Chains A and B, each alone.
Chain A
Amino acid sequence: MERIPINRIELQIQSKGENVALSRICIAALASQLEITLNDLEEIKVAVSEAVSNAIIHGYENNPEHMVTITSLLYEDELVIEVIDAGIGIADIQQALQPAYSTDPERMGLGFVFMQSFMDQVEVESELNHGTKVTLKKMIGSAGAEKKAVS
């Protein structure tokens, strides 16, 4: 049976760094509609920040004239977030998921490491020159905490 979200949002942001904070605050506000620990909330904010920053820096190569779509579905036990860009795509997803993949000395290449550490599930779909979709899932709320405890 298909699960029905208790709330959902869709954000479209210009690919500007200023919108990274906006995105994580919106998603955190959505997640806060369930009972959630401050720790979980911080983890969600970092993961969203990383995914949206990646779309801007890598997907659109810092060109601010594009749009990033962020959708989020809030279920009674889980938060699902999709961050979608129509940028250059990732040639080798497995390599991109490795720590320290970045070639920039000012960057640590830890974006995906943080996403994987802080979320329960991270999926990356990408096609060269068409874009990337990152899906982040985290069990939250009292129902989510119960499911986590059982598993």
Chain B
Amino acid sequence: MSYVLRKKNRTLIIQVTGELDLVTANNFRETVDATMQEMMAKNLIIDLARVNFIDSSGLGVILGRFRKISAQGGKLVLIGLTPNVQRILELSGILSFIPYCDDELKAWQLLEKKVI
């Protein structure tokens, strides 16, 4: 698993490549939490377009970030869901409360319009 991290305004954008399971979920959590704290980021955009596998450990780490960021008044948006990943996320019910859209441009619209 690898990441590309960027910060824009107070939002961290993380592009994830690889598989999000038990092992990589721990690494993902540590990377996101440490980077958000270091960059003093408030919001998080997770780009899952290059994630080719996700299981409940991967979902759990996304849910954990959502809870943590929401508790601090920030927003989390998921982008680039492949059909496989989207199916798992839908089955879990996570998409009923975590906003998602096609790409980063739309994610910025969601964050800037404050509709979420």
Cβ-neighbour of B59 out of A21, A57, A108 (below 8 A) = A108
Contacts of B67 in A (CB 8 A): 105
Give A109's nearest chain B residue, CB to CB. B56
Q: Is the CB of A49 within 8 A of B55?
A: yes
Contacts of B92 in A (CB 8 A): 108, 110, 113
- Supposing A21-B19, A21-B23 touch, asked if A111 and B84 sit within 8 A by C-beta, the answer is no
Does A3 touch B at the CB level, under 8 Å?
Answer: no
Q: Is the CB of B22 within 8 A of A106?
A: no
Q: How many residues of A contact B (CB 8 A)?
A: 24
Q: How many residues of B contact A (CB 8 A)?
A: 21
Determine which residue in A18, A21, A104, A110 has the highest number of CB atoms from chain B within 10 A of its CB, and name it.
Answer: A110
Q: Is the CB of A110 within 8 A of B23?
A: no
Cβ-neighbour of A21 out of B21, B56, B63, B64 (below 8 A) = B21
Interface residues of chain B, those whose CB is within 8 Å of chain A, are 19, 21-23, 26, 29, 53, 55-57, 59-61, 63-64, 67, 84, 88, 91-92, 94
Query: Could you list some 6 contacts between A and B, CB below 8 A?
Result: A46-B55, A53-B55, A56-B22, A104-B60, A107-B56, A111-B56
Q: Which 8 A-B pairs have the closest CB atoms?
A: A17-B23, A106-B64, A17-B22, A107-B60, A49-B55, A110-B56, A53-B22, A106-B60
